[in-house]
Amino acid sequence: MKVIGIIGFAVIFVIIGLVVFDVATAPAATRGQCLLDRRIFLPDVCVNSCSRPFDCTNTTRPYGFFFTQAATCMDAVICG
């Protein structure tokens, strides 16, 4: 039983580490640019430089059973 607990703790620790790494390594987009952020554990997203929330996702693809992730991003972003 101790081995199962240790393995379970290790798996949770690795998953948390991957999530933190995914969020911390997001690329920085310049003004008018939209970049595809390919992630290891979380779904892929498009990153832009707009100050307000703006989704520059052009097309999506399935992620898991019920979700979607970004497949391509727009070429240029015009922030309002």
| This prediction's pTM | 0.71
Residue 39 forms part of a structural domain: yes
Please write the tens of the pLDDT for every residue from 42-66: 899 898 888 777 888 899 999 988 9
Q: Which domain holds residue 15?
A: 2-73
**Cα separation, 38 vs 33, whole angstroms:** 16
Q: Which of 77, 78, 80 has its CA nearest to residue 35?
A: 77
DSSP state letters, 59-78: EEEEETTTEEEEEEE-S---
Residue 78 forms part of a structural domain: no
Residue 79 forms part of a structural domain: no
Residue 35 forms part of a structural domain: yes
Please write the tens of the pLDDT for every residue from 5-27: 889 999 999 999 988 888 888 78
Residue 14 forms part of a structural domain: yes
**Cα separation, 50 vs 27, whole angstroms:** 14
Residue 8 forms part of a structural domain: yes
Domains held by the chain: number: 1
Residue 27 forms part of a structural domain: yes
Residue 30 forms part of a structural domain: yes
* Amino acid occupying residue 71: A
